[in-house]
Amino acid sequence: MLPVILAGLIAQSIIPALGASAAHPHQDVLNAPPPGFSYRIPQGTHPWTSSAAVKTNKHKHSENVQKIRAFRGGKTNARSVAAVLGAHQRQVGGFGYQNISTTTSYGTQYAAEVTWHRQNLWLLLDTGSSDTWAVRENFKCIDYSGQVVSQGACGFGPTYRSGFQYGHVTPEQHMFIQYGDGEIVTGPMGLSDITVANITVSMQEVCLANATYWYGNNLTSGLLGLAYPSLTNAYLGSSVDHDFNTQVEYSPLFTTMVDQGLVPPIFSVAIDRNSSTGMLAWGGIAPATGADFSQVATLDLIITNLIDLPATAYEYSFYTIIPDSWQYDSVSDTRKLPYIVDSGTTLCYLPPQIAEAINNAFQPAAVYLWMYGAFFTSCNATPPRISVKLGGINFYFNPVDLIYRNMVDPLTGMCMTAIASGGSGPFILGDAFMQNAVAVFDVGEAKMRFVPREFY
């Protein structure tokens, strides 16, 4: 059964999003979306959660705030939205992009400390997926050929030492996920208390992974998914039954947290520029250096039809918005296209024409290196002045965020830029953008809100 709050949102998403008399800033794209996309914009269910509340810091001083840690290297970004969507584009015959960290040693993903029953674990924080899982003590590590290898080859941190606190959901219910680069996680599903910050979610449905093909960082023990129920990956039957007909949608952690009345239906993330720390606030606004709370950009969360996920045609899935425009130097591009906000993706993935134009505006111009699927320029290059306009507010990129000087191509000596081509979309606002804003995931009001941060 769908959670009460999200069930209301989904029910509204089946009817036309706006009345004929409603004035919407993107009414043109709603009426005539670009080829390959369809949009719906339901109304939220909690009108008290507003940009005015953010401006007045109504939720800023939440007690439920915790630090997040950054992990780099290996394939720690391989589970990002970029990897998932890029893999789908290539699967259907398109020239999709790839996530940069699947082919290089660079990539950043953030983790939060979670108490799973009585054991503390660090789990990767993912706004682009919905399942929460940890690897169990006796799990099998599988290599690329399907052979069982030593557990250390999967690169997990501490394993979970116990079983489900309240037993299995049902004996035949299990989780199966295959990520964009081929990584696989599977295992039984059960019920346990999960604590984050000062909040304990009772009897949350979670997975204890008993078999994985995984590229870990030797510190984190699983993943904490914060997206919507439509992206959950639970199935009925044996471990080999994981098609659409056996899928069972369930309530992920944040949805359950809200349904149990533990927090208002809002969370927020503030990523620090040095990419080593950040803040996550449950039910409120994350504190952040340089945040200008006098300005709040508000955008509708939209439902975007993704070909490989039928439920996303009528349910919320990713945190997807439509920016007003992109500006670089004196050029403005006002095409209205969907962008997913994802803390697990390092780069920003833009429409090919915009990505190429911005990279050409570097001095010297950045060039595309096909072996990375990214653009590279001189490590001392001068970036163009770039901003994305959201809800009428320009969010400028700090120049230091536009060139990754620790990602150097050994053949050319050039450094990777933060702007990549997103193929046929949807496109992505990743860490390079999120370091310049506080991102507020206002689930109750069906909005994304952004607070600009001064360069610091």
Report the number of distinct structural domains present in the chain: 1
pTM: 0.82
Instruction: Determine how many CB atoms are found less than 10 A away from the CB of residue 240.
Output: 10
User: CA torsion angle for 11, 12, 14, 20 (degrees, to 10)?
Assistant: 160
342 catalytic residue (yes or no): yes
Which pLDDT value is given to residue 7?
30
CA distance 130 to 6: 14
Q: How confident is the model at residue 69 (pLDDT cuts 50, 70, 90)?
A: confident
- Where in the sequence is the domain holding 205, given as residue range(s)? 109-264
Rounded to 5 degrees, φ, ψ at 360 are: -70, -25
Q: Are 54 and 449 in contact (CB under 8 A)?
A: yes
Confidence of residue 55 (pLDDT cuts 50, 70, 90): low
Res 386 pLDDT > 80: yes
Tell me, yes or no, whether 244 lies in a domain: yes
Structural domain contains residue 310: no
Strands 415-417 and 374-377: antiparallel
Q: Output the pLDDT for position 202.
A: 97
314 is a domain residue: no
Q: Are 208 and 164 in contact (CB under 8 A)?
A: yes
pLDDT of the residue at 216 = 86
Is residue 317 included in any domain, yes or no?
A: no
Q: What are phi and psi of 16, to 5 degrees?
A: -55, 140
Cα-based torsion angle of the residue sequence 279, 280, 285, 286 in order, rounded to the nearest 10 degrees: 0
In a domain? residue 375 = no
Considering only residues 115 and 374, tell me which one the structure prediction assigns the higher pLDDT.
Answer: 115
Identify the active-site residue in 342, 401, 431, 442. 342
Q: Which of 215-229, 238-252, 289-303, 361-375 has the lowest mean pLDDT?
A: 238-252
Residue 212 lies in a domain: yes
Residue 11 forms part of a structural domain: no
- What is the rounded CA–CA span in Å between residue 362 and residue 379? 11
pLDDT tier for residue 95 given thresholds of 50, 70 and 90: very low
CATH number of the domain where residue 190 is located: 2.40.70.10
Which one-letter amino acid corresponds to residue 84?
A: V
Give the pLDDT band of residue 72 (cuts 50, 70, 90).
low
Q: What angle do CA 37, 43, 49 make, to 5 degrees?
A: 125
DSSP codes joined into one string, 330-341: TEEE-----EEE
What's the number of CA atoms in the CB half-sphere (13 Å) around residue 331? 12
Q: Calculate the alpha carbon distances from 109 to 44, 70, 220, 374 in Å.
A: 30, 6, 11, 18
Query: What percent of the chain has a predicted confidence (pLDDT) above 70?
Result: 73
Whether the predicted pLDDT of 163 surpasses 50 = yes
| Range list of β-strands (E), 237-363 | 247-248, 267-271, 277-282, 297-300, 303-304, 320-321, 325-328, 331-333, 339-341, 348-350
Centroid of chain to Cα 257: 19
Cβ distance 266 to 49 under 8 Å? Answer: yes
Asked if the structure places residue 370 within a domain, the reply is: no
Report percent pLDDT > 90 for the chain: 46
Say whether 126 sits in a helix, a strand or coil: strand
Most confident of 15-19, 67-71, 339-343, 397-401: 397-401
Among 404, 403, 368, 396, residue whose Cα is nearest residue 382:
403
